[in-house]
Structure 1
Amino acid sequence: MPNHVVFDVVGTCVSFDAFYRTIDQTLGPQLRSHNITAQTLGFTWMTNAELQFTFLSISESYKPYKLVLAELFYQTLHMIGVTDPHAFATPEQRDACVEGYSALELRPGTRDCFAKLRAAGFTVWCLTTGDTARVRGYFERAGVDMPLENFLSCDTAGVAKPALAAYRPALDKLNEADAAGEKWFAAAHLWDVAAATKVGFRGAYCTVYEKEGSYKVFDAGLDVRAESLEEMAEGIIGSSK
């Protein structure tokens, strides 16, 4: 009886280091003149984009995440203390930074994590907010096999995580194909795992990104908690039938 693990991709399998690095290469001296680091801008920019992306989804006005990210660049600069954002950075510099988001790289443990699960008979899936072609590119560049048919995107449903409607189609798809097998959701965002468990997934959380899980905020009903992706894979395998 095959079991299944659905992974969040960006933040979980993929780190943001390349995004921060691109911002520093593009805007580093300008940022430092304002005592702002590339990671400060990158994290604040992503957080602003994710917040408003989610608000768009809730208000049934869904837009692709990459569009939202680009549109909020100058607003984010203003919010972190740049008084004249359009004089600070050109549209070409903004676009170069956005492309850095497409150049994200897999975490070192992703390959071994997937290999352990597949060797134990699990089918590995990915559920992402981004478009599948871009997200699959992260795996292709790293030489990690991830079939296109095993990618599921919130863009298809037109709703953003963590709305429960973003997870249900993935669970329904797996149940239609294999009602008996276990269905896991694995992520490095505690809010992501918490939402997935509400629709019926078993939950696995890795602290590789957040480091400090906000356990008093999110009631995740976790089956597995681990510090690395490889350790998470071992926990899923050990906790399954």
Structure 2
Amino acid sequence: MQRDLFAQPASRPKLVVFDVNETLSDMSGLAAVFAELCARPELAAIWFSGLLRDGFALTVTGDNPDFGALARQSLRPLLDSHGVPNPDTAVDAVMDAFAGLPVHGDVVEGVRGLAAGGVRLVTLSNGAASVARGLFERHAIADCFEQLLSVADAPAWKPAASAYEYALRTCDASPAETMLVAVHPWDIHGAAAAGLTTAFVNRAGTPYPAFFSRPDLEVASLVELAEVVGEGHG
């Protein structure tokens, strides 16, 4: 669907649920951290993809793993297998960098635009709420968010339906009035299956995978998202 789906104020979401990791936080700097540890820079993306894969596998089999613990446990053998010296110290360095990431360049303006438009904003992350809180406090946007939610308090990781249902219950919102915003097609797919409206943030202009549910809206930035769905509120 196109932007005209949200042309009327009544059709715009009342609640926007943000994914955090990569959607709001800019993880590109982790490659340099890996390089400083004498590891190949591309291992940063390999590690994070593997972390998500393992978390999804555990979720499917009925577990709800702790994101931080799984991150560390998946990182240590990866660094060790690539000959990184002092892997335990290196794990600490990577996790510290992960906890101190910046936001993407469009996030502050986009989030403030949505909040100014009267849209309720929350997060729903497979990671810890404390990481999101630190991210927002560093960029002075914490006051824009009503709640910072984590699947640690839900039955399962996203994209399980129960994760989105947890957010809806907590925020006393219906799927029809709620939009999930993410850069991950798997997150878009999961939210759509749970009945939410979805917005795919495509900063890189990459093709959307045909095997996942299509997003209701595709934008190049959160600034564009605020222009589309933030108008008419308040």
Q: Flag whether TM exceeds 0.5 (same fold).
A: yes
**AA paired with 1:47?**
S
Q: Which residue of 1 aligns with 2:124?
A: 127
Shift of 1:124: 0.8
Cα distance 1:88–1:196, how it changes in 2: closer, same or farther (>3 A)? same
The answer to whether 1:171 aligns with 2:148 is no
- Which residues of structure 1 form unaligned runs of 5+? none
Alpha-carbon distance between aligned partners in 2 of 1:181 and 1:215, rounded to the nearest angstrom = 24
The answer to whether 1:217 aligns with 2:223 is no
Q: Which residue of 2 aligns with 1:183?
A: 178
The answer to whether 1:194 aligns with 2:210 is no
1:65/1:129 contact within 8 Å kept: yes
The answer to whether 1:152 aligns with 2:149 is yes
Q: Percent identity?
A: 23
2:114/2:226 contact within 8 Å kept: yes
Q: Which residue of 2 aligns with 1:14?
A: 25
2:192/2:198 contact within 8 Å kept: yes
Shift of 1:148: 7.1
Q: Secondary structure at the match of 2:71?
A: helix
Alpha-carbon distance between aligned partners in 2 of 1:148 and 1:101, rounded to the nearest angstrom = 21
Shift of 1:149: 5.2
Shift of 1:239: 9.8
Q: Which residue of 2 aligns with 1:97?
A: 94
Q: Which residue of 1 aligns with 2:16?
A: 5
Q: Which residue of 1 aligns with 2:65?
A: 63
Q: Secondary structure at the match of 1:106?
A: coil
Shift of 1:202: 0.8
Taking structure 2 as the reference length, the TM-score comes to: 0.84
Instruction: Name the Cα RMSD after superposition.
Output: 2.5
2:64/2:155 contact within 8 Å kept: yes
**1:114-139 residue CA offsets vs partner (Å, 9 max, x unmatched):** 12212222111111111111221000
Cα distance 1:148–1:215, how it changes in 2: closer, same or farther (>3 A)? closer
Structure with bigger RCO (C-alpha 8 Å, 6+ apart): 2
The answer to whether 1:46 aligns with 2:48 is yes
2:198 aligned residue (198, 203, 208): 203
Shift of 1:180: 10
Q: Which residue of 2 aligns with 1:236?
A: 229
Alpha-carbon distance between aligned partners in 2 of 1:180 and 1:46, rounded to the nearest angstrom = 29
Cα distance 1:72–1:195, how it changes in 2: closer, same or farther (>3 A)? same
**1:171-230 residue CA offsets vs partner (Å, 9 max, x unmatched):** 2333x3x5598211111112111211211211111112x64143312123x221111111
- Which residues of structure 2 form unaligned runs of 5+? 1-9
